[in-house]
Amino acid sequence: MSSSGPEDDPPEPRGTLRPTSARALTVCAVAGLVIGWAIHPAAVALGGRAPLVSWVQALALVMVAAIMAFLAWQTWQTVHVRGERLEPHRAVNRLVLARACAIGGTLVAAGYVGYGVSWLGDASQLADRWVLRSVVAAAGATGVTLASLALERACRADGGRSQP
């Protein structure tokens, strides 16, 4: 029988975490455009009425963008300006939130753009209203994406140091 020594232990896994890729965001944008554009004609064909876009939806996305921007600013100040370390679980939580919101924000923004485009040329008197609200919602979701990417960047360590 041989005793297992330190040389027998498998090496500690070392991974790298890359920023959210442009490819992932592009795929989400294309999927969102297609889905958003298809919702209007599909809903009319199936139920006779297209979904409504309210101001609450648009303003909720603007509010989420503001919250994400504040969190990105706060994280940047903590890690890069003051040089403090985040607790590991907080750093991971912020990174996961940033990545999920970047991907989700891109999908939602493109979905609202597609939905707004589907109303262009529509003779309905509500078409202009849905286009405007879709544009505001898409702007809010784009803000979520940009603030999330800023938060993701704020979580990064400088120069390969092990700081979260």
Residues 6 or more apart from 59 whose CB is under 8 A from it? 136, 140
Q: ∠ at Cα 141 (140, 144), nearest 5°?
A: 95
Please, are residues 105 and 142 in contact by the beta-carbon 8 Å criterion?
Answer: yes
Q: In whole angstroms, what is the distance from residue 107 CA to residue 83 CA?
A: 34
- The pLDDT, as a whole number, for residue 86 is 87
164 residues of the chain, pLDDT tens digit each: 555 555 666 666 565 678 888 999 999 999 999 999 999 889 888 988 888 889 999 999 999 999 999 999 999 999 999 988 888 889 899 999 999 999 999 999 999 999 999 988 887 878 888 899 999 999 999 999 999 999 999 988 754 444 44
User: How confident is the model at residue 163, as a pLDDT?
Assistant: 44
- Single pTM value for the model: 0.82
CA 59 to chain CA mean position, Å: 16
CB atoms within 10 A of CB 115: 26
CB-side neighbour CA atoms (13 Å) of 82 = 10
